[in-house]
Structure 1
């Protein structure tokens, strides 16, 4: 049985940026299929009593994270610019990604939007930025944005977020293998893919 992994990512998540840019190549080398699973961290944070990102709640942790992300992106040859405000409002972006088929379109849009958000520092709640990401991915913007406003898409995103909570996901990026192992963080990507390759 070929390996498979669920990639749970949140568009406002800093470390989801390098993970989204790397996961395709890492998984392909290992023969592992990736299921792209956009979700929202807001409800998970709210259940813990947090009103914002833990990187904002703990300033020292936040300062270290931003410097760490600078080092990571520099090492990968990825552009980096801190978006303001942080975290970004990712609801519409997550709905658009949910509305797109997970046949390459969702991944292409997600990578394009991350590049605009963390590569150029742009706001992902801006319709023009969302449209630009869709067009970069080769997806007509207007119908995709319209589809994202539908009730079925809203319910699907809510279901994915509830599934993430049920699986004890507490941050992004998170990777879940077919046998239920949970790996958290960009720095666990290779380990998660190796596990998926070995265990199906």
Structure 2
């Protein structure tokens, strides 16, 4: 009988600051614990809208926003990651999310996600720019023209919309979030290690 390993799903939003921190470290941590990883892009906008929010809660509550950016500076320093606040914030990550959804079961998903997050929060660039996204695809060796064409199809748009519905069904309300095989939900970059440990302890339950 083949031995399987535990798996967690990493739900991320390109507009999410803490998803940036997680995306840059999750692969190494998952590998060190023998945990498989599913990259799950989604959009927080519809989930926030259901709560009556029209923007990031970090914008709605200025004190919380100020704390978040300072905390992000500290965390980025600990991880030796560059940090630049994009303007505007939050960024429009719709097209980037569609690309990640299209790529998510292949070899280019992880490098694409990291490169987009780096451009956004490492360099402060506008990730809604199709030229930037195409350049990222070229840099990672993906067929940029084919991908940029594919993500405009209705099937890919529907897949991302379905992902948002799946996230809502799982009880996800923020990003980053992690869901283990037994349905346990963990929220926040600071819960990544706990999610991985849970996945290992409860694998096969």
TM score, norm. by length of structure 2? 0.95
How far does the alpha carbon of each residue in 1:166-198 deviate from its partner, in whole angstroms, 9 at most, with x for none?
111000000000000000000000110111111
Aligned to 1:166: 169
Aligned CA distance change for structure 1 residues 192 and 120 (closer, same or farther; 3 Å)? same
* 5+ residue gaps, structure 1: none
Q: Is the 8 A contact 1:112 1:136 kept in 2?
A: no
CA distance in 2, matches of 1:7, 1:138: 23
1:123 deviates by 0.5
1:50 deviates by 0.3
The counterpart of 2:55, out of the listed 38, 41, 52, is 52
1:158 deviates by 0.5
Aligned length in residues: 200
1:101 deviates by 4.1
Matches within 5 A, 1:17-96: 17-96=20-99
1:137 deviates by 2.0
Instruction: Say which SS state the counterpart of residue 126 (structure 2) adopts.
Output: coil
Aligned to 1:199: 202
1:134 deviates by 1.3
Instruction: Say which SS state the counterpart of residue 7 (structure 1) adopts.
Output: strand
Q: Is the 8 A contact 2:19 2:176 kept in 1?
A: yes
CA distance in 2, matches of 1:131, 1:26: 29
Q: Is the 8 A contact 2:9 2:39 kept in 1?
A: yes
1:133 deviates by 1.8
Instruction: Say which SS state the counterpart of residue 15 (structure 1) adopts.
Output: helix
TM score, norm. by length of structure 1? 0.98
Q: Is the 8 A contact 2:40 2:104 kept in 1?
A: no
CA distance in 1, matches of 2:141, 2:199: 30
The counterpart of 2:181, out of the listed 158, 164, 178, is 178
CA distance in 2, matches of 1:46, 1:111: 27
Aligned to 1:2: 5
1:104 deviates by 2.9
Q: Is the aligned partner of 1:116 residue 2:119?
A: yes
Aligned to 1:142: 145
CA distance in 1, matches of 2:20, 2:140: 16
Aligned to 2:16: 13
CA distance in 2, matches of 1:6, 1:104: 16
The counterpart of 1:153, out of the listed 141, 152, 156, is 156
* 5+ residue gaps, structure 2: none
1:143 deviates by 1.2
